[in-house]
Amino acid sequence: MLKEVLLGVLTGAVALTIGILLGHFAIDKGSSVPDWVRDASRDVDESIIEKFLAELDTNQLRENLRELTKVPHMATTPGDEATVDFMLKRWQDPNTGLDSAWRENYKVYLSFPNKTSPNKVSVVDPANTVQFTAREREKVYKPDQEDPEVVQPYAAYSPAGNVKGKLVYANQGKMSDYELLNRTLDLTGTIAITRYGGEGRSKKFRSLTRSSWYTSFIALNAINAAKFGIVGVLVYTEPYDMNDGLVSESETYPHSWYLPPSGVERGSYNIDFGDLLTPYLAAKDDTYRIPKEDITGIPPIPAQPIGFEDAERLICELDGDDAPNEWQGSLNCTYKLGGPGFKSTSTFNNSNVHLDIYNTERLEYSANVMGIIRGSVEPDRYVIYGNHRDSWVHGAIDPSSGTAVMLEITRVLGKMVKEGKWRPRRSIIFGSWGAEEFGLIGSAEYTEEYFSKLSERTVAYINVDISVFANATLRASASPAAQSVIFTASKQVKAPGTTTTVYENWKQYSNRTSPNYGIIPNVGFLTGAGSDYAAFMHYLGITSMDISYFYDRSKTRARIYPAYHTAYDTFDYASTYIDPGFTSHQAVARTAGNVLLRLADSLLLPFNCSDYAESLDHLTYENNCQKIIFFFFMKQLIEPLENIKEPLKVRQMNDQLMLLDRAFLDPLAFPEQYGFRHVIWASRSSSVPTFPGLADAVEKAESTGLKEDWDQAHKHISIVTQAIAGAAHTLDDVI
Amino acid sequence: MLKEVLLGVLTGAVALTIGILLGHFAIDKGSSVPDWVRDASRDVDESIIEKFLAELDTNQLRENLRELTKVPHMATTPGDEATVDFMLKRWQDPNTGLDSAWRENYKVYLSFPNKTSPNKVSVVDPANTVQFTAREREKVYKPDQEDPEVVQPYAAYSPAGNVKGKLVYANQGKMSDYELLNRTLDLTGTIAITRYGGEGRSKKFRSLTRSSWYTSFIALNAINAAKFGIVGVLVYTEPYDMNDGLVSESETYPHSWYLPPSGVERGSYNIDFGDLLTPYLAAKDDTYRIPKEDITGIPPIPAQPIGFEDAERLICELDGDDAPNEWQGSLNCTYKLGGPGFKSTSTFNNSNVHLDIYNTERLEYSANVMGIIRGSVEPDRYVIYGNHRDSWVHGAIDPSSGTAVMLEITRVLGKMVKEGKWRPRRSIIFGSWGAEEFGLIGSAEYTEEYFSKLSERTVAYINVDISVFANATLRASASPAAQSVIFTASKQVKAPGTTTTVYENWKQYSNRTSPNYGIIPNVGFLTGAGSDYAAFMHYLGITSMDISYFYDRSKTRARIYPAYHTAYDTFDYASTYIDPGFTSHQAVARTAGNVLLRLADSLLLPFNCSDYAESLDHLTYENNCQKIIFFFFMKQLIEPLENIKEPLKVRQMNDQLMLLDRAFLDPLAFPEQYGFRHVIWASRSSSVPTFPGLADAVEKAESTGLKEDWDQAHKHISIVTQAIAGAAHTLDDVI
């Protein structure tokens, strides 16, 4: 009933419909007024947008990608330095560069394998004779895999160590997985083999799927394991989850987009993002660093990823009971739990699995490359567009597909600026972040260093990391305030391989029914820390979005494109299987670039705050507690039309819109979660998608029934209520 | 050497000298430009300021004070309700009121004595026969003291309890005082009698002296005492500290301004400010409240204040060694430490001191009264002017002298607005805060409720609490950014009883030598939580100031006006001994009102960021660590003159100035101190006035020499460095 009332009020409310207003505020442009009066009222020029869209070129995109992926460019390696130089050369080009571009170094804590002592995974019999050794490198199919700079597969931040024990199979290494094993087995001293996690429960909601960096679950795996006395963890890529069950070499890359049997998914096994030694402080040379022993959220025991070819050798020899149905996969046997250890009929009978890990941590300088186009009217308002530059190996898709798009956008915009044809109303900042794969480090350090300035001035952050997962449809996750501008932009771009727009095509693949608009494309939530938007959205409260082209979920179960984080994510892979004509790259460049131009040039910011309310409301029936706070959202930003001719009035409304997401920040709401301060979108453990603090507290209280836990839920209702009321005050009449 | 270099650079730097710029940015006011173009460039109108200053009337000030002090108006009592009605009536007056005014209630946790079971302090012999009882009420000299609503003297938030024990004298109850006693005495089970603290070490710096609420030291007293097994604490007002040694009735009020022997200083014995049950949350009806057991920073043992007449009976009967010289006072005996207990020759021999405390805590609705004048050009920028309304008894000086000034300012401004003669460029918000005496509660809850909005929009906070301590000189404490506007304003006001200006008079009483300006009046720091500026300055990072008229420190040792927090702080006292002609009230109204008008009307905000650097630099030789960070301050806000004609350029510069203090906030710098986030001015325990986190950490490290403590000092250098760099980025070219 309450819901119906709310929906009625919302639908009937006079919202700030930017589109309608846009036609009304142009001031009289008589010749007698000063130039700046004309400038101050300048709005988006649709002809500029058309020109921009037309200039974005598939050949340029292809050549960008080819150049970026010539060599492996893991953070702080010579290959990474080469991409720094390349970015700077492009952004400092006198004909197509930006107003200025420079590098900014941070001294960050990274973890690497040892080139001279590679990590080893083996099976050894009781006399310590080696019976089997897992591959140290992925199999070579193309010259790219032969590059000596291809880093050995490893789990960054896994401690070094030499451990052995009987093997058990622990599914995804969730707490519940280990608890199940622990019911029948003594896990003390064992080694667990686990598979990389799928999407899990987040599927139910419009939440982000696995992305460039999102390894909390894996770090948790090893942390969970250690609680049961397990001494080492192996992680492999299950072909059921990634390859739609295909396992043979003839069916995988270079014959298809699927992962070859020897392919190993690298990853950073840390829960918190940003440099681990300098939480909340930019990692400069002299910055205070916490003792290494005080780092939390990294594996306490050695961990190592392996390919499914090696995993099969280990899993299919296991003794013990059959694993539950949902733990089974596509390897050629019935998965068993382990005796612990191997079955008596196996040549591995009585043998141990041996992990010999030589990872070392060290401080290295990682660079962000920054570039700007100065705004003409409001230089002190920023639209930030970014992507990371570092990869695990060649990183053609992750992240270079995004960097190729960014470079093509800057080429076209830079040219318009250098030719004097255009300059944005607001300043545009481009960020090519370093060391994202190790935990969003470059972007996090940047937000820490420029915290005040960015908080005060940034209108929006656009993240395009992996720009093309596949060729089917646009995928966007965003603060609901940005939904409308993404829709506007995507309606102006043709969807590759179709006769329709990106918007209409997207709506076919993924949609929801909105009480305000009917059927619309499904914009996901930015609840996690999958890429560099995390620090902007969660730490700074800046309206953010993440845009890419994605695959058809009905055609594949792959939790991400299968070459992800392996030595097969190369230019050949990308240009053969992901986007041969580079038309999806172009569609993303056009959509994200169009969003960028609208955010930079619009007189009134194209944010729709009623979409925020509607988007949350859509979910409120999930949780009764959330209904209460909706009354606060009835207030809408309404300003008489005749008042918004004036630059300071426009600025006032824009500030209200800019600061809407900022109002949801509460630095004390999640003291235990690094960098998460946005009370609506912070990372959560419960299955409810929004209001994570409240949802987690209610879930806990419901399970324990303890008064003190209900008190905590009450506390989080108060925190959320105050934050939403604060946002409503921000939107209310300014005095 | 470093210092010399820095000073040289600073002196030579081209600072943003507002005065010079002011003459340059008026735009051409041709008739062809729209009205709003003219409005947008409107600046302070000096003729309006002159008119305003002339209208402020001593008779009105006197009548305001008379009306406000008719009855005692402790927070949430009927007398307090009467002042709410009075404020609303005045601010809603059709001829002299504000644009609108309203009340806002918070449900806050207060502590009161029990009317039917008054607190008792007595001396009882071993047979429990009462030998002496301290007064329950102050002696009646005028009808005011007879009012049944005069609250019994008590220590708010002292727990109820019935304790007795041998008496010891513990000076000011500092940790070092108890340690000294503990060297020779077993304090377990004793009662300590202590004197209210003086200014202590803060005298050395430009720090705030004791103000309306500043009782941390007293709460600490009881917390310290409990650590030594002491079971109860008495606190009295030492005539040496308050009465320049005078103790006889014939020399004290009503014969002079000094405190009568029976006068008792009430106070709130809590360390943290804001409602104690709802930290960081506005105390609304349904807000989550922490369990009472979780409150920290209040006395764990009963405490009670008494007058010096009663203190003399107790102290002068004590046995034991002579107290140290600096513990002696003006009571008619040599102060001894206690046996513990009384001397054998005393009638109190073998007797105990008995505290029977019946304080109760309860939730009560406390009101802020709010009023606004809407800004014409930038309504979304606020100048806030406030004072608390609640007193302990009649509160003529504390706080009604300030409220009288606020009401006279609003009368004159309201009249100009109602007559259509003036409307400020920015919005002005007036706040009449509730429950300040219990710990700045009304203002703290207000900042919690409107956190985002106030953070984003507030240009400055002006606090005028006790407006007149005495008639000698202006006293101002402020963020250094506000120094120049206070100087400008005070130069336009005549100092009462002199032939010179408030500025020149002030400079005679209190000055320092500035490297930039030569000899200038000494503007104090806002380091403490003495009044309602605390939440604005320390929690929100809003440029704040506290303004009053003060006494000649060379003529008296009184740590505050002697009737402070007693039943003698009445209209009679104020109009007889503090400011008979109300000319000092008028001088404060003129100075603070002038500051208010300049902040509300100036095209460019009259904040000087180079004063911030200079003011900090003045102190850097106190601490080597601080020098390092000064390099960051070399950047100055410089904008070519021709650019600042345009409204958005002006706004941009103003935002840089407005947000300067905000950039110094770090919500994680002082996790253990409620509401303190400003890394320069937060409350501190070390003797260094600025950079409290760093100073405290260095002091601790120097005393322990431990590596982990030096690591903490390093951490605080990083925090401060990042904050100052953040402020510099804010002042730097915007892109």
Q: List every span in chain A annotated with CATH 3.40.630.10.
A: 44-110+362-601
pLDDT tens for each residue of A169-213: 999 999 999 999 999 999 999 999 999 985 433 333 334 445 666
Q: What is the DSSP letter of A398?
A: I
A436 is annotated as an active-site residue: yes
The reported pLDDT for the residue numbered B34 is 67
Share of chain A above pLDDT 70, in %: 88
Min Cα–Cα distance to chain B from A301, Å: 27
- pLDDT higher for A528 or B134? B134
Q: Topology of domain B2-25+609-731, per CATH?
A: Transcription Elongation Factor S-II; Chain A (1.20.930)
Strand-pair partners of B192: B168, B233
pLDDT tens for each residue of A587-606: 999 999 999 999 999 999 99
Share of chain B above pLDDT 70, in %: 88
Pick from A64, A7, A82: which is nearest to A627 by CA? Answer: A7
The reported pLDDT for the residue numbered B465 is 97
The reported pLDDT for the residue numbered B39 is 77
Q: With beta carbons less than 8 A apart as the criterion, state whether B715 and B669 touch.
A: no
Pick from A1, A2, A9: which is nearest to A613 by CA? Answer: A9
pLDDT tens for each residue of B422-432: 999 999 999 99
Q: What is the DSSP string of A32-65?
A: TS-HHHHHHT----HHHHHHHHHH--HHHHHHHH
**Confidence tier at A550 by pLDDT (50, 70, 90):** very high
Q: If you average pLDDT over every residue of chain A, what do you get? A: 88
User: Span A2-27+612-731: which CATH code?
Assistant: 1.20.930
Contacts of B396 (CB under 8 A, 6+ apart): B65, B68, B69, B569, B570, B571, B572, B573, B574, B578
- pLDDT higher for B715 or B261? B261
Q: If you average pLDDT over every residue of chain B, what do you get? A: 88
Chain A residues in contact with B291 by the CB 8 A cut-off are: 711
DSSP count for chain B of H helices, then E strands: 23, 19
- pLDDT higher for B171 or B669? B171
Instruction: Looking at the structure, give the CATH architecture of the domain made up of residues B112-361.
Output: 3-Layer(bba) Sandwich (3.50)
Taking residues B507-512, what's their average pLDDT?
A: 95
Give B101-167 as a 3 state SS string: EEEEEEEEEEEECCCCCCCEEEEECCCCCEEEECCCCCCCCCHHHHCCCCCCCCEECCCCEEEEECE
The tokens describing B457, both together, are 């929009």
- Best interface-test mutation with A: which of B37, B278, B452, B710 has the largest number of A CBs within 10 A? B452
Minimum-distance CB partner of B718 among A32, A281, A451: A281
Q: Do A40 and B659 touch (CB under 8 A)?
A: no
Q: List every span in chain A annotated with CATH 1.20.930.
A: 2-27+612-731
Calculate the CA A342 to chain-centre distance. Answer: 39
pLDDT of residue A5 exceeding 50, the answer is: no
Radius of gyration of chain A (CA): 26
Q: With beta carbons less than 8 A apart as the criterion, state whether B302 and B233 touch.
A: yes
- Best interface-test mutation with B: which of A285, A448, A735 has the largest number of B CBs within 10 A? A735
- pLDDT higher for A197 or B531? B531
- pLDDT higher for B51 or B528? B51
pLDDT tens for each residue of B684-733: 666 666 778 888 888 889 899 999 999 988 998 888 888 888 888 888 88
Taking residues B230-257, what's their average pLDDT?
A: 97
pLDDT of residue B205 exceeding 80, the answer is: no
The reported pLDDT for the residue numbered B215 is 55
The reported pLDDT for the residue numbered B265 is 96
pLDDT tens for each residue of B375-391: 999 999 999 999 999 99
Contacts of A334 (CB under 8 A, 6+ apart): A322, A323, A328
Residue that the structure tokens 């904050």 belong to: B723
**Confidence tier at A726 by pLDDT (50, 70, 90):** confident
- Best interface-test mutation with A: which of B284, B648, B729 has the largest number of A CBs within 10 A? B648
pLDDT of residue B631 exceeding 50, the answer is: no
Phi, psi of B335 (to 5 degrees): -75, 130
Q: Which of B55, B104, B312, B436 is catalytic?
A: B436
pLDDT tens for each residue of A91-120: 999 999 999 999 999 999 999 999 999 999
Q: List every span in chain B annotated with CATH 1.20.930.40.
A: 2-25+609-731
pLDDT tens for each residue of B466-483: 999 999 999 999 999 999
Q: How far apart are alpha carbons B623 and B690 in whole angstroms?
A: 9
pLDDT of residue B650 exceeding 90, the answer is: no
**Confidence tier at A18 by pLDDT (50, 70, 90):** very low
The reported pLDDT for the residue numbered A622 is 39
Q: How far apart are alpha carbons B619 and B512 in whole angstroms?
A: 12
pLDDT tens for each residue of B51-100: 999 999 999 999 999 999 999 999 999 999 999 999 999 999 999 999 99
Minimum-distance CB partner of A717 among B288, B379, B655: B288
Q: Topology of domain A112-357, per CATH?
A: Glucose Oxidase; domain 1 (3.50.30)
pLDDT of residue B193 exceeding 90, the answer is: yes
Min Cα–Cα distance to chain B from A174, Å: 32
Min Cα–Cα distance to chain B from A702, Å: 18
Chain B residues in contact with A670 by the CB 8 A cut-off are: none
The reported pLDDT for the residue numbered A34 is 67
pLDDT of residue A244 exceeding 70, the answer is: yes
pLDDT of residue B638 exceeding 60, the answer is: no
Instruction: Looking at the structure, give the CATH architecture of the domain made up of residues A44-110+362-601.
Output: 3-Layer(aba) Sandwich (3.40)
Q: Name the CATH code of domain B43-109+380-601 (choices 3.30.1360.120, 3.40.630.10, 3.30.450.20, 3.30.460.80).
A: 3.40.630.10
The reported pLDDT for the residue numbered B546 is 97
Q: Do A652 and B378 touch (CB under 8 A)?
A: yes
B42 lies within 8 A of chain A by CB: no
Give me the helices (H) in A230-275, please.
239-242
The reported pLDDT for the residue numbered B509 is 96
Taking residues A43-54, what's their average pLDDT?
A: 96
Percent helix / strand / coil, chain A, rounded to 5 = 40, 15, 45
Taking residues A456-469, what's their average pLDDT?
A: 97
The reported pLDDT for the residue numbered B681 is 83
Q: With beta carbons less than 8 A apart as the criterion, state whether A395 and A374 touch.
A: no
Calculated CA dihedral for residues A492, A494, A500, A501, nearest 10 degrees: -40
**Confidence tier at A617 by pLDDT (50, 70, 90):** low
pLDDT of residue B636 exceeding 70, the answer is: no
The reported pLDDT for the residue numbered A681 is 83
| 106-145 in chain B: CB under 8 A from chain A | none
The reported pLDDT for the residue numbered A32 is 57
User: Distance of CA B557 to CAs A165, A567, B368, B549, B561, Å?
Assistant: 78, 79, 35, 16, 10
Chain A residues in contact with B281 by the CB 8 A cut-off are: 718-719, 722
Chain A residues in contact with B427 by the CB 8 A cut-off are: 734-735
Chain A residues in contact with B659 by the CB 8 A cut-off are: 452, 456
- pLDDT higher for B664 or B275? B275
The tokens describing B172, both together, are 């000011």
Q: Of A112-121, A431-440, A487-496, B652-661, which range is least confident?
A: B652-661
Minimum-distance CB partner of A379 among B27, B718, B734: B734
B67 lies within 8 A of chain A by CB: no
Tell me: ipTM over 0.90: no
Q: Of A187-196, A267-276, B244-253, which range is least confident?
A: A267-276
Q: What is the DSSP string of A631-653?
A: GGGG------GGGGGSHHHHHHH
Chain B residues in contact with A378 by the CB 8 A cut-off are: 648, 652
Strand-pair partners of A195: A236
Q: List every span in chain B annotated with CATH 3.50.30.30.
A: 112-361
Share of chain A above pLDDT 90, in %: 73
A258 lies within 8 A of chain B by CB: no
Q: List every span in chain B annotated with CATH 3.40.630.10.
A: 43-109+380-601
pLDDT of residue A21 exceeding 80, the answer is: no
Q: Of A313-327, B42-56, B169-183, B663-677, which range is least confident?
A: B663-677
The reported pLDDT for the residue numbered A27 is 31
The reported pLDDT for the residue numbered B527 is 80
Q: How far apart are alpha carbons B585 and B593 in whole angstroms?
A: 12
pLDDT tens for each residue of B103-120: 999 999 999 999 999 999
A264's torsion region: left (phi>0), alpha (psi -120 to 50) or beta?
beta
Share of chain B above pLDDT 90, in %: 73
Taking residues B337-363, what's their average pLDDT?
A: 97
**Confidence tier at A573 by pLDDT (50, 70, 90):** very high
pLDDT of residue A240 exceeding 50, the answer is: yes
Q: How far apart are alpha carbons B456 and B444 in whole angstroms?
A: 17
User: Is there a cis peptide before residue A340, judged by omega within 30 degrees of 0?
Assistant: yes
Min Cα–Cα distance to chain B from A581, Å: 37
pLDDT of residue A629 exceeding 60, the answer is: no
Give chain A's largest Cα–Cα span: 96
Q: Do A725 and B288 touch (CB under 8 A)?
A: no
Q: What is the DSSP string of A566-617?
A: STT-SHHHIIIII-TTSHHHHHHHHHHHHHHHHHHH-SS----HHHHHHHHH
Q: How far apart are alpha carbons B381 and B653 in whole angstroms?
A: 13
Taking residues A547-566, what's their average pLDDT?
A: 94
The reported pLDDT for the residue numbered B46 is 97
| 408-437 in chain B: CB under 8 A from chain A | 427, 429
Strand-pair partners of B468: B549
- Residue A536 DSSP SS3: helix
